[in-house]
Structure 1
Amino acid sequence: MSYGNNDSYGDQQYRGNYGASGPDFSDLAGHAESHHGSSSSYFNEAANHLQQNHGDYANQDIDEDHAVQSHRKLYGEGNAPANSNELGAGAALEALKKFTGGSGGSGDSSSGGGQNKLIGLAMSEAEKLFDQHGGSSGDKQSAINSAAAMAFKMYSKGQGSGLGGTGGPSGLLGLASKFL
């Protein structure tokens, strides 16, 4: 697994703590479909996108202000998003809220749900938002991809910034409390 320069350190930084094969996103579409209530080719495409780009996303910071503003705009004020990036950030934050039980529900984070459940929930939220708002500027696939990427970054950060996964559900709850 080389990125063109045989630099083993550079290769390792993209793999993060997942080893050579990377995380398994094969059941992402299934998780998204279970939340959405129907299948969508957008979910498979988003899972493929995340599989190909997770190394880049793992090394990116979360723009917390953007996520909170996007969520507030979509869920608090009920306004249409300006672009698919806003929609994805807002959907991922709503998914984190539901996942950790921040919406009054029991949440999924303690049931061994893990990364793919959170990402699947974010993808489902993004599709619902896109459909509700009659299509924002941008396209549905970009919005769902954006939600998947943001949820992956949130989960990674909630797990102790990828350092051996020490965060667990309490790490996600701590992250959620920063946002909500």
Structure 2
Amino acid sequence: MSMFGLGRDDDDRRGDRRQDYGGNIPHGGAYPAGGGYPSRYDDDDLHGAEEEAARHSGGSGDSSFFSTILSAVKQRKQSLADEDVDEDDAVRQHKRFYDDKDDDDADDRSMGSAAAMQALKMFSSGKSENQSQGALIGIAMAEASKLFDQKSSQGKVSGEASKESAVTKAGEMALKFYLKSQGSNSGGGGISGDSDSKMSGLLGLASKFIK
């Protein structure tokens, strides 16, 4: 047998072993791209977030648009879990956009933070029928989409801001809220417990900021 044939056989056997670990792994290795380790958080928890966003968006975005944003948020889930959450700034941005209307030169980060806090407020007040992680992220994305369209029509959006970025920031901030609430709820060891305990942790976090 030629050296080239042997090389192909070896490649085939390695391919078979890769299949044993769950099929094609485009990034190499047995772990997801980015974090190097399997995620502690189940992407199934975000299932339906794009449809939830489309329902709440008031026509400012469809499920395809939000699905693209959600994919970007999912890719950063592991790193977002390790980032600090500036709740005080989110509260300030929410007050600025939703209460004071002091919102000239709005950028994507501030709109995203305000929208995520608005989603948290809707959860804490019982205005969301679907009390799930996916619903929280979906509502945050929808609020950011509506907020961007509103401020853009008023000429109040900064030149560097984009709708996609504002919606992404909202989804990321909402996910960080959720992950922080579950981390404290489970002693820092990741998300655990049933759906009721998960949402109680989120609502407990909301009660600290929402008056």
TM, length-normalised to structure 2: 0.70
CA distance in 1, matches of 2:101, 2:111: 12
Q: CA deviation at 1:107?
A: 3.3
Runs of at least 5 residues in structure 2 that lack an aligned partner in the other structure: 1-24
Q: Distance in 2 between matches of 1:7 and 1:120?
A: 27
Partners of 1:44 and 1:7 lie apart in 2 by 23
Pairwise CA RMSD of aligned residues?
2.6
Q: Which residue identity does 1:82 align to in structure 2?
A: A
After TM superposition, list the pairs within 5 Å mapping 1:93-112 onto structure 2: 93-101=117-125, 106-108=126-128
CA deviation map 1:98-134 (0-9, x unaligned): 0121xxxx333xx563101011000010011111111
Residue 151 of structure 2: aligned partner: 133
Per-residue deviation, residues 2-32 of structure 1 (Å, max 9, x unmatched): 9889899x633x61243xxx44544221010
8 Å Cα contact 1:119/1:152 also seen in 2? yes
* Counterpart secondary structure, 2:83: coil
Structure with larger Rg: 2
Deviation at 1:163, TM superposition (A): 3.5
- 2:49 is matched with 28
Q: Distance in 2 between matches of 1:57 and 1:86?
A: 17
Q: Which has the bigger relative contact order, CA under 8 A and spacing at least 6?
A: 1
Offset of residue 69 of structure 1? 1.0
CA contact (8 A) 2:123 2:203 kept: no
Q: TM-score, normalised by structure 1?
A: 0.80
Helix, strand or coil at the partner of 2:173: helix
Q: 1:72 deviation in Å? A: 0.9
1:153 to 176, 179, 188: 176
Match of 1:172 in 2: 202
Q: Gapped runs of 5+ residues in structure 1?
A: none
Change (3 A) 1:175 1:15: same
1:46 maps to which residue?
Answer: 69
**Does residue 114 in structure 1 map to residue 132 in structure 2?**
yes
- Identify the residue that residue 3 of structure 2 maps to in structure 1: none
1:37 to partner: Cα distance: 3.5
Paired with 1:170 and 1:151, the residues of 2 have a C-alpha distance of 16
Q: Work out the number of aligned pairs and report it.
A: 169
Structure 2 CA distance, aligned partners of 1:3 and 1:77?
47
Contact 1:71 1:89 in 2 (8 A): yes
Runs of 4+ in 1 over 3 A off after TM superposition: 1-8, 22-26
Q: Alpha-carbon deviation of 1:136?
A: 1.6
Q: 1:132 to 1:92 in 2, by over 3 A?
A: same
Partner of 1:11: 36
Conserved in 2, the CA contact under 8 Å of 1:3 and 1:11?
no
Contact persistence 2:120–2:136 (CA under 8 A): yes
Identity %: 37
